[in-house]
Structure 1
Amino acid sequence: MPRPTAAQFLYGSATVVFSALAMLLLFRTEPGVGLAVVCTASLVLGLLVAMVLPARARTVRRAAPAARAHRTIEDVEIATARQERVGEHSLHR
């Protein structure tokens, strides 16, 4: 099993802290069962965020080169069209 990255720790921890605070403020729970439910829910949410992060990062990394290649092809087509237009203008002079 691969070790968690720093980004996974950061996003997971931030999710736990902020979701726990939000739920505590939103539901105004009293000490006891409500507090345990909020803490458990925020931990599960933090784990979920930390586990989904690597899959999302791989998807973004895979899409980026394809997008760059697509832009490069468009740039070449635009440059070729410009050269053809410049050539046409020089023939008419």
Structure 2
Amino acid sequence: MPRPNPAQLAYGSATVVCSTLAMLLLSETRSGGWIAVIAFAALALGLLVALTAPSTRPTPKRHRVVARADAAAGTRSPAARPDPVPAQHAASAAPAPAATAGLGARH
């Protein structure tokens, strides 16, 4: 599971605090059981908000820096790699050399 970014943590925490206060004030409950239910519901709501908040995406500047670092290291970034060559069918493959042709054959 990916780690939440600071914005997601802030959204989730603010949701827990605000929803807990709102539900406690609106329900005017005094019993410990109902306070626990409200706290659990607020926690679940905060978790839902934190998980559905949009995460940050790398900016184009970051892509350039990564591509430049890959070029310096002698590797290519996944976007710059060419498509793989499709495998040829066995019927169109070149015949095996004579030295290896008889290795699997029965005599």
- Same fold by TM-score greater than 0.5: yes
What letter corresponds to residue 38 of structure 2 in structure 1? V
Which structure has more helix as a fraction of its residues? Answer: 1
Report how many aligned residue pairs link the two structures.
57
**RMSD across aligned positions (CA):** 1.6
Deviation at 1:54, TM superposition (A): 2.7
| Deviation per residue, 1:34-56 (Å, 9 max, x gap) | 1011000000000000011137x
Give the structure 1 partner of residue 83 of structure 2: none
What letter corresponds to residue 50 of structure 1 in structure 2? A
Gaps of 5+ in 1: 59-93
If you compute each CA radius of gyration, which structure gives the higher value, 1 or 2? 2
Give the structure 2 partner of residue 34 of structure 1: 34
Counting only pairs closer than 5 Å after superposition, residues 1-93 of structure 1 correspond to structure 2 as 1-54=1-54
What letter corresponds to residue 43 of structure 1 in structure 2? L
Give the structure 2 partner of residue 81 of structure 1: none
SS at match of 1:54: coil
Higher RCO (Cα < 8 Å, 6 or more apart): 1
Runs of 4+ in 1 over 6 A off after TM superposition: none
SS at match of 2:53: helix
Separation in structure 2 between the aligned mates of residue 29 and residue 5 of structure 1, nearest angstrom: 35
Gaps of 5+ in 2: 58-107
What letter corresponds to residue 3 of structure 1 in structure 2? R
TM-score by length of 2: 0.50
